[in-house]
Amino acid sequence: MSSRKKTLLKVIILGDSGVGKTSLMQQFVNNKFSHQYKATIGADFLTKEMLIEDKNVTIQLWDTAGQERFQSLGVAFYRGADCCVLVYDVTNSKSFENLSSWKDEFLIQANVKNPDNFPFVILGNKIDLEENKRAITTKKALSLCESLGNIPYFETSAKENVNIEVAFDIVARNALQQELENDAEFNEDYSDAINIHINGEQSGCAC
């Protein structure tokens, strides 16, 4: 049954304001980059169809505002997440230091069942900027990722489309794994959902 079901993977992208969350999402989904993205207010999402292990999945990426106080809104979108992407800006050490609090915040707010097993991916963005602006070395980043529980780490450039596909492929794989685990728990609910749907379906359209 689950092999036939269309899978929706919900992914939350978090990180300090201005690290490039919107840009990463736009590059991955729409293959474009612009300097003109405005600061995200509220929340928005993009979806993309992907093929993961011969399975068609829809990945739904949620983008929220980076300033902390607006996270009380973001919370609404954390629930039911299958994976969380934490982003920092390699030229901004503060955004790096905040990674672990973003992670903790997410786990608390999303009310995840198995916090130890919940998949995260960390992205160090803006590697296109000059080397001398870089504040966080790859080594430092890797050691943090290890200490946070062997979180997969990628260095990306949303601007020049570096490592984006690769990173989101891992995001989707991990999310799918998580979704399948959740799926098993919710299996009972599905048969109901199907029947309700079939009965409510309307055919044709007046035109």
Partner 1 sequence: MGTHKNTLQSQEKSPNLSNGGSLSDAVTNPLSLTKSNDNSNDNLNINLNNSSPYNSLRKKKISTYPPGKAKLLWTKSKVYIHLTKNKSDNISGFLSLIKVYPTSINNEILLTWFPESTLSNSNDRAIFESCDLYINLNQYKSNYNSNNHDNHNFPNSFNTNKKKVFFINSSILQSMGAYSFQTPLSNIFSIQARVPSLGWWWGSIIINSRSQFDTFPILFFHDDESISTQKEQKFKNKDFNPFSSNNEGQLFWGGDQFFTILKKYILVERSSLDSSFFLINPNSDDLNYTKLVTTDYKSINKNDPNNQGANNNNINESIEKIRHTLQNISVNKIVTSAKWTILESLARVSMLAKSKVDELVEENPKVKALLNKPEVVKINNDFDTARVYLAKWALAISEQAEKNKIDLILDKNYQNLLNKELGGNFSNLSIQEISKIHRRKEISPVEWSSFFDSNGNLILTVNEVKERIFHGGLNETIRSQAWLFLLDVVPWDSSTFERNQIIKSLRSDYQHYLNLWKIDIEEKQKDEYWVDQKFRIEKDINRTDRDLSLYKNPKKSSTQKDKQNQSHNKDENNDNDNDNDNDHNDNDDEEHNISNIKNEHLKNLREILITYNEYNQNLGYVQGMTDLLSPLYYIFQDNALSFWCFAKFMERMERNFVRDQSGMKNQMLVLTELVQFMLPELYLHLEKCDSNQLFFFFRMLLVWFKREFEFNDTLRLWEIFWTDYYTSEFHLFFALSILSKHEVIIKRHLRQFDEVLRYINDLALTMDINDLLIRSELLFLRFRRMIEIIDRENDMKERAKMYKVPNESEVETEVETETELENDINNASTSNNINPRINRINANRISKTKTFKPSEQKKPNESTSDKKNKNYKISESLRALLSKEIVVQKEVEREPGMGGG
Interface residues with partner 1 (CB under 8 A)? 1, 4-8, 10, 17-18, 35-39, 41-45, 60, 65-70, 72-80, 94, 109, 190-191, 193-195, 197-199, 201, 203-207
DSSP state of 163: S
CB of 203 to partner 1, least distance (A): 5
Q: How far is the CB of 190 from partner 1 (least distance, A)?
A: 7
Pairing of strands 153-155, 7-15: unpaired
Q: Which is nearer to partner 1, 53 or 207 (CB)?
A: 207
Instruction: Rank residues 17 and 177 by Cβ distance to partner 1 and give the closer one.
Output: 17
The nearest distance, CB 150 to partner 1, in angstroms, is 28
Burial call 79-116: b when 16+ CB within 10 Å, e when fewer: eebbbbbbbbbbbbeebbebbeebbebbbebbebeeee
Strands in 55-64's sheet, in edge-to-edge order, are: 43-52, 55-64, 7-15, 83-89, 120-125, 153-155
Q: Shortest Cβ distance from residue 186 to partner 1 (Å)? A: 9
Residue nearer to partner 1 on the CB measure, 113 or 146: 113
